[in-house]
């Protein structure tokens, strides 16, 4: 880290900072310019945080050279993380992008859910997603059917050979949910629920971590760091749009640029959720394609057998016929991109 002292910082103030750093195992180098005095410090920032240095009198600013998300950083792990499932499906590392499809909520209509699962399988999807516990803005909105929904999700997935994804809201539900789902999802509203992050970090299930409504990319990666720090390396990031001042036409702002940015600074795989990212059915296909073009490792799409009567998010859910048409084009693009990147990689090697 670099510590910039105030122009009028005294020699005693500077010495206190340098002595503190040295006592905590840092190597320090002092440079005095025409205006500012600067201390270069190299050491373990887990023992001394920038906030502690900032508390010293005479310190103007502390700049971090290395990002604070150590375990999620490419500095720690240059190669892409690849998450592999028992049936051979892989996410990350240049493998063919996966598709996770299904209703926002698993409703009390098994035949409808099964019809979505069958369509997803026919279209080459690998995962069936569906909410059992629904964190809603209003307490009057549909809150999900809980374990009953998880049982239906598991049954439909088993009948069609798909893996399952569902959102967890409370650490006390981990054991129960792990009986039914292959991937635990942490939603945007829980991205800074640190107790929950620590809990899923201590289990062995892959975790999809969605970006918070107002999370910066750094905050997003630090949320993932909490899971990694607690022992679970199977983290899949999900860009799902961020809140902005313009909500007239889209639900959120689909931050496509976050995908290549995260690819540059982190080894973790990242997928895209254009359904929540836009809130509009007609925008799902173009945003899914855009995400794949810039390097997303997969796409999550909401699909419903009867969107007009869906209990949640019908507006951003694709009806099955439309989903099949969209998937034809998405699969075509995904296959072409995968082929081209593999050829490029082979030529580079």
Regions of the chain with pLDDT less than 70: 46, 344-349
Distances (CA, A) of 100 to 8, 87, 176: 58, 15, 22
Give the CA count within 13 Å in the CB-facing half-sphere of 154: 14
Give, in words, the CATH class of 83-348: alpha beta
As a whole number of angstroms, the longest Cα–Cα distance in the chain is 76
CA separation for the pair 77, 318 (Å, rounded): 38
pLDDT of residue 66: 73
- Residues 97/292, Cβ–Cβ less than 8 Å: yes
- When the pLDDT of each residue in the chain is averaged and rounded to a whole number, the result is 93
Spans of all domains in the chain? 2-63, 83-348
pLDDT of residue 348: 56
Give, in words, the CATH class of 2-63: alpha beta
CA separation for the pair 39, 52 (Å, rounded): 15
Inter-helix orientation angle 258-265/217-229, to 10° = 50
pLDDT of residue 1: 86
pLDDT of residue 69: 87
pLDDT of residue 349: 53
| Cα dihedral value 5, 7, 10, 14, nearest 10 | 20
Q: pLDDT, tens digit, for every residue of 64-100?
A: 877 778 899 998 899 999 999 999 999 999 999 999 9
pLDDT of residue 6: 94
Q: Which region holds residue 93: left if phi is over 0, alpha if psi is between -120 and 50, else beta? A: left
- Residues 106/99, Cβ–Cβ less than 8 Å: no
pLDDT of residue 323: 98
CA separation for the pair 334, 259 (Å, rounded): 16
pLDDT of residue 14: 95
- Residues 167/202, Cβ–Cβ less than 8 Å: no
CA separation for the pair 299, 292 (Å, rounded): 8
pLDDT of residue 345: 63
Give the CA count within 13 Å in the CB-facing half-sphere of 83: 23
Give the CA count within 13 Å in the CB-facing half-sphere of 323: 31
Residues with Cβ within 8 Å of residue 247, at least 6 apart in sequence: none
């Amino acid at each position: 880290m670099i510590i910039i002292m105030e122009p009028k910082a005294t020699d005693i103030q500077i010495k206190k900072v340098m002595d503190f750093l040295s006592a905590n195992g840092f190597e320090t180098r002092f440079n005095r310019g025409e205006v500012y005095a600067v201390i270069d410090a190299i050491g373990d920032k887990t023992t001394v945080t920038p906030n502690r240095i900032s508390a010293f009198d005479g310190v103007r600013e502390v700049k971090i050279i290395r990002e604070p998300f150590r375990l999620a950083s490419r500095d720690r792990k240059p190669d892409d993380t690849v998450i592999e499932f028992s049936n051979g499906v892989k996410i990350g590392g240049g493998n063919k992008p996966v598709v996770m499809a299904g209703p926002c909520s698993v409703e009390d209509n098994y035949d409808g859910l099964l019809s979505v699962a069958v369509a997803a399988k026919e279209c080459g999807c690998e995962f069936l997603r569906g909410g059992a516990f629904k964190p809603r803005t209003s307490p009057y909105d549909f809150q999900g059917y809980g374990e009953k929904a998880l049982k239906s999700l598991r049954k439909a997935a088993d009948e069609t050979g798909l893996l399952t994804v569902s959102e967890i809201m409370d650490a006390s539900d981990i054991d129960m949910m792990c009986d039914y789902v292959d991937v635990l999802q942490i939603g945007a509203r829980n991205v800074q629920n640190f107790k929950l992050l620590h809990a899923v970090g201590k289990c062995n299930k892959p975790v999809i971590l969605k970006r918070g409504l107002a999370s910066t990319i750094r905050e997003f990666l630090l949320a993932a760091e909490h899971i990694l720090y607690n022992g679970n390396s199977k983290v899949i990031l999900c860009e799902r749009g961020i809140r902005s001042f313009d909500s007239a036409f889209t639900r959120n702002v689909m931050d496509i640029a976050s995908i290549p940015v995260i690819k540059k600074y982190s080894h973790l795989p990242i997928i895209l959720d254009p359904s929540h990212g836009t809130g509009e059915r007609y925008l799902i296909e173009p945003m899914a394609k855009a995400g794949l073009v810039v390097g997303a490792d997969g796409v999550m799409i909401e699909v419903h057998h009867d969107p007009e009567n869906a209990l949640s998010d019908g507006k951003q859910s694709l009806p099955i016929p439309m989903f099949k048409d969209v998937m034809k084009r998405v699969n075509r693009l995904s296959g072409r991109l995968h082929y081209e990147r593999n050829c490029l990689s082979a030529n580079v090697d």
